[in-house]
Chains A and B, each alone.
Chain A
Amino acid sequence: MASLPTYQSIHDAYLAQVKHKSDRLMNYFLVSFFIAGLLLALFYDTWLVAIGVGSLSLLAYYSVRAILPHSNVYQYVVSAVLSIFMAQFIYQMHGLFEMHFIAFIGSAILVTYQNWKLQIPLAAVVIVHHAMFGYLQFIGYDKIYFTQLDYMTLQTFLIHGFLATVIFFICGLWAFQLKKLNELQIEQTFEMGRYQEEQLQKKALLQSNEDLKKSNRELDSFVYSVSHDLRAPLSSMLGVVGICETGVLDPFMMKNISFLKSSIKKLDGFIIDILDYSRNARLEVDRQEIHFTDLLTELSNNLKFMGINDQRKVDIRTTVQNGVAFYSDKSRINIILNNLISNGIRYQNPQVPDPFVEIIVNVSESAANILVKDNGIGIDQGNKEKVFNMFYRVSNNSIGSGLGLYIVKEAVDKLNGVLELRSEIGKGTEFIIQLPNLTS
């Protein structure tokens, strides 16, 4: 997407356009003034003045434009030039009073630059010119005369000055208003453009959101289908292995079968973990009432029969204190508890006579506090951080996929909960989880 134009750049572009247009107009005006000077020269043969002063004026303007092209000094020069043309015409017509109107024409022309300050050189030349001649006349310098009026009285001077000032002021005002109006329009156009951009962006964002959700759903069902199709033959394999087990007494065969079984279970476990991870990462947080007692009963039922390689059955004890209704994402809580409890079973301490996993749940209005405690082999202090890493397993003999605790951490994070691990090698492990109650 091309970078959005800034207000400054639009403003600058507009100013450049105004300048360009005005300069073009000015070219025509200046040439016309010069030609007017030539035409006026016909009256009283004032060719020297017409050509000399006229070309000097044009020279002044175009040379300043060439020397300082990036400044707008030349515009002030043109303002002065317009008043000089007025003086030139008055002179050429030997004081014809009507030539004064050239000054007002000049003042009006300058409005095109939308800069009120350009009136100043024009006014200045006119005032200085009048004042100077008036003064000279006043002191009796008899070589000066003024127009066809008998005398430039102070009163005349003041009236002229006042009216001229009024015209210059009005033209300046219009230049200023024009500029302000156009700036306002630019601003509004810009805002409008920005607003439309924003709307488009919003729309695009919403669209992309929808697309993402859709692809999430599609991926989800893909993952389901794939995991299902992967697990079906595995479950068949396990079933057949189970049948072999019942019909075999030879220790050698039984050992082989048990290895087969553990490998298959490992693979199956890995697939389930992948599925859990995928669902946790992708699915939005669901919200429903959680009945911990039922949930834990079901989990322990499923896990009761989890025994690998002659591991003893682990006692699963649950204590649920329900005060208040607790709302959260059921499947994620399932995943969390399932992983933690099965870890507790998997990593039991063979030295201990009564391996257990204890789950204590306390529900309050703000959160649910869950404690999963076992008397298993524990986790080394140095590894406490690492266990939550993806695919971290404490040893090669570990039964798990390495994903379990990673998924637990991700799920707790997704629910904006807090997870704490306390453990001592040889003594046991405690997982302390706090999950916010999504009451609304």
Chain B
Amino acid sequence: MEYKYKKVMVIDDNEIDLYIAEMLMATAGFAEKVVCVKSAKEALAYLKPLYADPDELPQFIFLDINMPEMTGFDFLNEYQHLPENIRKNCIIMMLTTSLNQDDRMQAERNQFVRKFLNKPLDRDKLALCI
């Protein structure tokens, strides 16, 4: 099967949503490998060591906003302190069910966020990412 991308990461505290993302990536042929992490902390822990190994970095990061402890925006704050080669390689897409305009504006203002998507993810939305 032809996958568009090698690796993507999904950060979401909801197990079902992670499952949905994983299944979707597989059936849509979007990514070969999907790294699912349940918290922003885990995501950072995953990314940090990879500065030495940039090939292993995910090409897309799907980031949920509403998460306990560290929200999506908290992750972005931490993300900007990461080394540049990490940041260069990853495209961040924000995912949320929130209809809050402030969230949307804040996400769009952030330099690292490429797009702001409403859940649930589906094939059409993935098509926008390309």
Contacts and interface: CB of A to CB of B under 8 A. Distances in A.
Question: Do A and B touch (CB < 8 Å)?
Answer: yes
Which of B24, B99, B118 has the most A CB atoms < 10 Å from its CB?
B99
Interface stretch (A73-81, A161-169, A233-241, A362-370): A233-241
Contacts of B27: 243, 246-247
B48 to A, nearest CB: 29
A371 B20 CA distance: 39
A301 B127 CA distance: 12
A67 B119 CA distance: 91
A9 B13 CA distance: 71
B97 A235 contact: yes
Nearest to A264: B120
Nearest to A304: B124
B100 interface: yes
A422 interface: no
B120 A238 contact: yes
Interface in A205-261: 224, 227-228, 231-232, 234-236, 238-240, 242-243, 246-247
A302 B120 contact: no
Nearest to B65: A228
A242 B14 contact: no
Contacts, number: 60
Contacts of A227: 99
A348 B106 CA distance: 36
Contacts of A305: 122, 124-125
A227 B19 CA distance: 23
B116 to A, nearest CB: 10
B99 A272 contact: yes
Contacts of A232: 14, 66, 97, 119
Contacts of A238: 120
Interface in B14-67: 14, 16-17, 19-21, 23-24, 27, 66
A331 interface: yes
Contact of B14 (A228, A231, A236): A236
Interface in A103-146: none
Contact of B120 (A228, A239, A247): A239
A242 B120 contact: yes
B94 to A, nearest CB: 14
B100 A235 contact: no
B98 interface: yes
Contacts of A246: 23, 27
A392 B124 CA distance: 32
B20 A239 contact: yes
A224 B120 contact: no
Nearest to A227: B99
A285 interface: no
A275 interface: yes
Contacts of B122: 239, 242, 305
B111 interface: no
A235 B20 CA distance: 10
B121 interface: yes
Contacts of B16: 236, 239-240
Nearest to B100: A224
A235 B120 contact: yes
Contacts of B119: 232, 235-236, 239
B66 A228 contact: yes
A242 B100 contact: no
A246 B23 CA distance: 10
B20 A228 contact: no
Given A242-B122, A272-B99, A305-B124, A236 B24 contact: no
Which of A243, A302, A304, A331 has the most B CB atoms < 10 Å from its CB?
A243
A234 to B, nearest CB: 8
B125 to A, nearest CB: 8
B99 A236 contact: no
Nearest to B121: A239
Contacts of A228: 66, 97-100
A232 B20 CA distance: 13
A323 to B, nearest CB: 27
A246 B20 CA distance: 12
Q: What 10 A-B pairs come out closest when comparing CB atoms? A: A239-B20, A239-B120, A235-B119, A235-B120, A236-B16, A238-B120, A231-B97, A305-B124, A243-B23, A246-B27
Interface of B: 14, 16-17, 19-21, 23-24, 27, 66, 97-101, 118-122, 124-125, 128
23 contacts: A224-B99, A227-B99, A228-B97, A231-B99, A232-B97, A234-B97, A235-B118, A235-B119, A236-B14, A236-B120, A238-B120, A239-B16, A239-B24, A239-B120, A239-B121, A240-B19, A242-B120, A243-B20, A243-B23, A246-B23, A301-B128, A304-B124, A305-B122
Given A228-B100, A236-B20, 20 more contacts: A224-B98, A224-B99, A227-B99, A232-B66, A232-B119, A235-B17, A235-B97, A235-B120, A236-B120, A238-B120, A239-B120, A239-B121, A240-B19, A242-B20, A243-B20, A243-B23, A243-B24, A246-B23, A304-B124, A331-B101
Interface of A: 224, 227-228, 231-232, 234-236, 238-240, 242-243, 246-247, 272, 275, 301-302, 304-305, 331
